[in-house]
Structure 1
């Protein structure tokens, strides 16, 4: 599950860096679950930034991005 979250988040990072769209569909809930489970440790080691508020009605992947400190 850690690998799934790594691929999803870093895939988003890469897509964002090159200006391409990126979506995670079927695995979004699993990614969110992993992010929520490891967020405190990841922030302590510098892997995640401070959590930000997800927009109202955000889907699971947008909430995972926000919880990892990424602004969708």
Structure 2
């Protein structure tokens, strides 16, 4: 049964995904890669970290942006 998650804050704010696992198997944190295109056509990749809330809001788990990491 898939588990719905939503990213809160940071570059992934508002994005929703489903992970094929049980709520007990959800990781405590997720890293997301954000590919940013620059005007000179070089790509810069940044990795950001999201921490899981301690409880879901309805059926959806939220992962919150941690900008200090």
TM range (shorter): under 0.3
| TM-score normalised by L of structure 1 | 0.24
**Structure showing greater relative contact order (alpha-carbon pairs closer than 8 Å, 6 or more residues apart):** 2
